[in-house]
């Protein structure tokens, strides 16, 4: 009579053990991707960074852009609504050119452009976000973040340090890639490398995070690059003066500030 009572807890324990084992082997894929997105784009409540961008073409000719990014997460929700402000400092002839972005994870982003030399604020109609960001090899979407729910994700491999995720677009017509693979750092959830593949399975764009620093307690990519094997060029971005939780007022991210940038914040 005692035997079944002994066996039952054993079975339960075994079951729990197996379940744990299973969970460790296959973490929730979507959760990993969500956390990666949060780690890459939603650190802190808000933040700012000075960015130096160096665009090298296949002939080794360099163009540079220097800009400041201000960011604020609405209601401090990860992977939620977000507002961006990109203020160009150099080259001198695009000084004070600015982008304002209201990022909507479940809809098209709202974008405005300010061109000081034409004294023009222009709304940019929603369209493909996979276009060049100011002539660099980064896409606009690489800067603002691709929605973690836009693709189907499969954990292809798990190493000691990385989740290797294969992602394919849910709507293939909306992206130029057939799939991409990202190496997500297990400890920080920062994607340190992403390779984009074409229909032939060839990697034609490669993103690399080459330096990560912990700033204000947030692991932060401070150097990254995007290589394009089709045109044979590469863009490097290096971040400085990174600050988090500045308490940026919401009205910073309005059309009004496009023309009269908050110089105090850009200093």
Partner 1 sequence: MNPLTLNAIRKPGVSLTLAAVFSLLMMGLVAAPTLAPDAFPFLQSLKVDTDPENMLAADEPVRIFHNDMKAEFTLHDLIVVGVVNERNEQGVFNVETLSDVYDLAEFANSIRWEEDGERRGVIAVDVIAPSTVDAIEQAGLGSVRFSWLMPTAPETEEEAVGVRDKALRIPTLNDTLVSADGRAIALYLPITSKDVSYQVAGLLREKVAGFNGEATYYITGLPIAQDQFGVEMFVQMAISAPVAMVLIFALMWFFFRRVNIIISPMIVAMVSVIGAMGLLVATGNTVHIMSSMIPIFVMPIAVLDAVHILSDFYDRYPAIRDRRKTLEHVMRELWSPMLFTTLTTCTGFASLAFTPLPPVQVFGIFVSIGVFLAWFFTITLIPAYIMVIPERAFEGFGMGAEGKVSDHEQTPLARFLHNVGGFSVERAKLILVSFLVALAIAGYGITQIRINDNPVKWFTPDHDIRVADRALNERFGGTYMAYLALTAAQADEAVLMGDDAGRRLGELGTPAAAEVSAELVRARGNKLTVEALLSHLRAFGEKRRDAAVADEDWAAWDDALLALDAAAQAGDLFKQPDMLRYIARLQYHLEATGLVGKSNALPDIVKTVHRDLFLGEETAFRIPATPEAVAQTLITYQNSHRPQDLFKLVTPDFRKSILWLQLKSGDNVDMGAVVAAVDTFIADNPPPAAISHDWFGLTYINVVWQEKMVSGMAEAFLGSFVIVLILMAVLFRSIAWALLSMVPLTVTIGVIYGVIGLIGKDYDMPVAVLSSLSLGLAIDYAIHFTVRSRELYARIGNWTETAKAAFGEPARAIFRNVIVIGVGFLPLLLAPLVPYQTVGAFISAILVLAGAATLLGLPALITLFQTFLFRKRSTT
In the complex, the residues that contact partner 1 under the rule CB under 8 A are 57-59, 61-63, 90-95, 97, 113, 115-118, 120, 122-125, 127-128, 130-136, 140, 173, 199-200, 230-231, 233, 263-264, 267
Question: Under a CB-based contact definition with an 8 Å cutoff, are residues 172 and 150 in contact?
Answer: no
Min dist. Cβ of residue 83 to partner 1 (A): 18
User: Of the two residues 187 and 200, which places its CB atom closer to partner 1 in the complex?
Assistant: 200
User: Of the two residues 72 and 97, which places its CB atom closer to partner 1 in the complex?
Assistant: 97
For the chain, the DSSP string reads -HHHHHHHHHHHHHHHHHHHHHHHHS--HHHHHHHHHHHHH--SSEEEEEEEEEEE-TT--EEEEEEEEEEEEGGG-TTS-EEEEEEEEESGGGTT-EEEEEE-TTSPPEEEEEEGGGTEEEEEPS--S-SBSTTSSSBHHHHH---TTSEEEEEEEE-SSEEEEEEEESSGGG-S-SEEEEEEETTT--EEEEEEE-TTS-EEEEEEEEEEEEETTEEEEEEEEEEETTTTEEEEEEEEEEEE-----GGGGSHHHHHS--HHHH-
Min dist. Cβ of residue 122 to partner 1 (A): 6
3-class DSSP assignment, residue 30: helix
User: Of the two residues 30 and 58, which places its CB atom closer to partner 1 in the complex?
Assistant: 58
User: Of the two residues 29 and 113, which places its CB atom closer to partner 1 in the complex?
Assistant: 113
Min dist. Cβ of residue 201 to partner 1 (A): 12
Min dist. Cβ of residue 199 to partner 1 (A): 7
Min dist. Cβ of residue 59 to partner 1 (A): 7
User: Of the two residues 191 and 233, which places its CB atom closer to partner 1 in the complex?
Assistant: 233
Min dist. Cβ of residue 134 to partner 1 (A): 6
User: Of the two residues 21 and 231, which places its CB atom closer to partner 1 in the complex?
Assistant: 231
């Amino acid at each position: 009579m005692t035997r079944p009572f002994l066996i039952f807890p054993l079975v339960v324990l075994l079951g729990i053990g197996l379940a744990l084992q299973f969970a460790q082997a296959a973490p929730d894929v979507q959760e990993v991707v969500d956390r990666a997105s949060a780690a890459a784009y939603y650190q802190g409540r808000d933040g700012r960074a000075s960015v130096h961008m160096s665009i090298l073409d296949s002939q080794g000719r360099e163009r540079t852009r220097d800009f400041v990014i201000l960011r604020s997460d609405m209601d401090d929700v990860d992977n939620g609504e977000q507002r961006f402000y990109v203020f160009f400092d150099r080259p001198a002839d695009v000084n004070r050119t600015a982008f304002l972005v209201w990022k909507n994870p479940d809809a098209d982003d709202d974008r405005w452009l300010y061109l000081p030399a034409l004294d023009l604020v222009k709304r940019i109609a929603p369209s493909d976000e996979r276009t060049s960001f100011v002539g660099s090899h980064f896409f606009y979407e690489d800067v603002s973040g691709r929605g973690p729910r836009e693709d189907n994700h499969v954990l292809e491999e798990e190493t000691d340090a990385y989740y290797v995720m294969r992602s394919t677009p849910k709507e293939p017509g909306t992206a130029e890639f057939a799939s991409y693979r990202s190496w997500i750092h297990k400890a920080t959830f920062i994607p340190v490398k992403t390779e984009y593949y074409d229909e032939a399975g060839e990697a034609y764009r490669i993103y690399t995070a080459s330096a990560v620093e912990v700033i204000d307690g947030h692991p932060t990519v401070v150097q990254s690059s995007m290589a394009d094997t089709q045109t044979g060029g590469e863009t490097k971005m290096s971040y400085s003066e990174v600050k988090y939780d500045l308490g940026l007022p919401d009205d910073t991210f309005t059309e009004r500030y496009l023309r009269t940038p908050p110089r105090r914040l850009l200093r």
